[in-house]
Amino acid sequence: MPVISKGVLRAMRFPGNTVPALKPDSGRGQGSREIARELDRIKPDPPLFPSDPDLRVKVEEAEAWGDEFQQKPRRFSWWAFKRDRAPMASYSEGARLGVPVGLAVKTGGPLVSVAARLNESTDENVRADLASLPGDLDRIDQWIVDGVMGGGEPNAADFQIATTIRLAISFDDLRPYIEQRPAGQLAMRVVPDFPGRTPPVFPSEWLEPLRA
Ligand SMILES: N[C@@H](CCC(=O)N[C@@H](CS)C(=O)NCC(=O)O)C(=O)O
């Protein structure tokens, strides 16, 4: 559970306070980028990074960019849950929370407030994130055209970015502007099953940059 995960990580003596955190037999990894490298070490085949050094640099750049980019759809989610917590239940489908999903949603108000504050899910930020989304999608589509992402075997950049796009597609407001694009198609291929759906929630004028 968000927020609660911080305490669990501390109890398990991880150095940082974010999930995902991996505790394999052979070592620890925290943070998606560190975990990708640890996984390649443990199981080099199929690789998460290309062997060509120039292409590897590009994949690592995309991966690092994606690590920042993920903050946008995350902010969208907390902003939306602040207004209506009901869609939260759909995102918890299949998750083992330790408490019934309905109860978690009913009592989740304080958790949502804290998460929205931690992630700076303000009107101003969310509106700006929506306005810059078309540029972000252009950038991802270009990486796909250039072969940095979207190859036969998903690489670390695909996993970093496609998962974030998949979350964005779960918003009814955003799906029409993403799903037909290369970025959207890649997201559906890398993450075909993804629970969760958020009905229309953003003020219409905030979506103007996407319509344009
Ligand atoms: N891609 C990042 C994601 C890390 C991250 O920001 N995780 C969030 C949840 S998606 C988190 O644990 N935030 C702290 C909290 O919610 O308490 C990574 O390097 O692993």
d(CA 78, CA 91): 12
Tell whether ligand 1 has an atom less than 6 A from the beta carbon of residue 132: no
Residue 26 has what pLDDT?
A: 60
What six digits make up the tokens of 41?
Answer: 């070490």
SS3 for 171?
strand
Q: Residue 21 forms beta bridges with which residues?
A: 30
Place of tokens 């940095």: 148
pLDDT tens series, the chain, 212 aa: 777 788 889 998 899 999 999 886 666 789 999 999 999 998 999 999 999 999 999 999 999 999 999 999 999 999 999 999 999 999 988 888 778 888 888 888 999 999 999 999 999 999 999 999 999 999 999 999 999 999 999 999 999 999 999 999 999 999 999 999 999 999 999 999 999 999 999 999 999 999 99
Give the containing element (helix H, strand E) for 65.
helix 53-69
CA of 142 relative to ligand 1 center, distance in Å: 26
Mutation test residue for ligand 1: of 18, 38, 78, 112, the one with most atoms within 8 Å of CB: 18
Question: Looking at residue 144, what is its pLDDT?
Answer: 98
CA of 74 to the centre of ligand 1 (A): 10
CA gap 8, 200 in Å, rounded: 34
Tokens 């055209």: give the residue: 145
Across the chain, which distance is largest between two alpha carbons, in Å? 51
Which amino acid is it at 71?
A: Q
State the pLDDT at residue 112: 94
What sign does the dihedral 182-187-192-196 (CA atoms) show?
negative
Check: pTM over 0.85? Answer yes or no.
Answer: yes
Residue 35 CA, ligand 1 centroid: distance in Å: 13
Ligand 1 atom at minimal distance to the Cα of residue 21: 20
DSSP 30: E
| Residue 76, token pair as written in the block | 């969208």
Amino acid at 197: R
Cβ of residue 2 lying under 6 Å from some atom of ligand 1: yes
- What pLDDT does residue 101 have? 85
For 152, list phi and psi in degrees, rounded to 5. -60, -50
What gap in Å lies between CA 93 and CA 141, rounded to an integer? 30
* CA–CA distance, 62 with 148 (Å, rounded to integer): 8
The alpha carbon of 211 and the centre of ligand 1 are apart by a number of angstroms equal to: 30
Cβ partners under 8 Å of residue 163, min gap 6: 70, 187, 190, 191
- For ligand 1, is residue 34 a contact (CB within 6 Å)? no
pLDDT at 24: 64
Cα(212) to centroid of ligand 1, in Å? 32
